[in-house]
Homo-oligomer: A and B are copies of this chain.
Amino acid sequence: MQSHSLQFWFEFASTYSYIAAARIERVTTSVNVPLEWKPFLLGPIFREQGWNDSPFNLYPIKGRYMWRDMERLCQRYQLPWQNPSQFPRNGLRAARVACLVQEEPWCPAFVRVVFHANFADDRDIAQTQTIVSLLDSLGQPGLSLLERAESTENKERLRRQTEEAIQLGIFGAPTFVYGTELFWGNDRLEEAIEWYEIHSASRETE
């Protein structure tokens, strides 16, 4: 059975995912679209394409555009922005935590502070201590959550979720998914919501 939610697939290293994560609840709440937060890893997907780095590094002409575009978009959406001194940063640890707490009401808040650390504060989200302190700042037990996030069982959970992304045909982040329909890129969020509204309404009247 198809999920009733709009899925938001994101990767912590992804600049456009930062913007989408910051604005998605504002957009979906106003139109009553239930949202599922789906962290995954782009690394394994990129490696299957023969890429061992972000395409923005492998294709500098595209990278130059993206960095300028981020400045403009953050201005447009009134989001803080700082060119990260390292890109991409390894989002594995943060993704494992997000996967662990995916159903918690504070998961979106965690996702946003991680993105903020990476792209507004230029902090290294690959470091355990960064993730622990971000969890603590949300009033959550950082150390013990991180320990559970690093368990074999939870590592497997993230692997399965990344596998699910591959099965869906996801190749970049952010991607919005409803059923088998994919909308790739922050700039397609509004269209994904429009699609959701039309097609979830027609399901109800079946």
A interface residues, Cβ below 8 angstroms from B: 49, 59, 61-62, 64-65, 68-69, 72, 76, 169, 171, 181-182, 184-185, 187-188, 191, 195
How many protomers of this protein does the assembly include? Answer: 2
Chain B nearest CB: distance from A16 CB in Å? 12
- CB-based contact A171/B59 at 8 Å: yes
Task: Return 9 A-B CB contacts under 8 Å, by A number.
Answer: A61-B169, A61-B171, A62-B171, A64-B169, A65-B169, A68-B182, A69-B184, A185-B187, A187-B188
For A185, list chain B residues within 8 Å (CB).
187
Residues in B with CB closer than 8 Å to A64 are 169
Q: Check B61 against A49 for contact (C-beta < 8 Å).
A: yes
Instruction: Tell me if B187 and A65 are in contact (CB < 8 A).
Output: no
Cβ distance A200 to chain B, nearest Cβ, rounded Å: 16
Are A65 and B182 interface neighbours, CB within 8 A? yes
Which B residue's beta carbon lies closest to that of A172?
Answer: B62
| CB of A191 to closest CB in B, whole Å | 8
Q: Considering only CB atoms, which chain B residue lies closest to A45 in the complex? A: B61
Whether A171 contacts B65 in the complex (CB less than 8 A), given A187-B185, A187-B187, A187-B188, comes out as yes
Distance in Å: Cβ of A40 to nearest Cβ of chain B: 14
Chain B residues lying within 8 Å of A62, measured Cβ to Cβ, are 171
